[in-house]
Amino acid sequence: MNEDLEFQIKSDGDFVKLNPAGLIYYDSILDWDKNWIRTVITVQGGVFSGKYNADLTTFDFDNLKCDLEKLYDNLGGEMEFDDLEGFLSLKIVGDGTGNFVAEVTCNDAPGIYSSELSFQISFDQTYIKDMVRRLDEITKRHPVVGDFKKS
So what's the architecture of 7-141 in CATH? Roll (2.30)
The DSSP secondary-structure symbol of 5 reads: S
Residue 146 has a pLDDT of 83
Q: Would the pTM count as exceeding 0.85? A: yes
Q: Are 104 and 9 in contact (CB under 8 A)?
A: yes
Per-domain boundaries in the chain: 7-141
Residue 40: C-alpha distances to residues 10, 21, 30, 88 (Å): 16, 7, 25, 11
Residue 142 has pLDDT above 90, yes or no: yes
When pLDDT is averaged across residues 57-61 and rounded to a whole number, the result is 95
pLDDT single digits (tens) 69-123: 999 999 999 999 999 999 999 999 999 999 999 999 999 998 888 999 999 999 9
Residue 3 has a pLDDT of 64
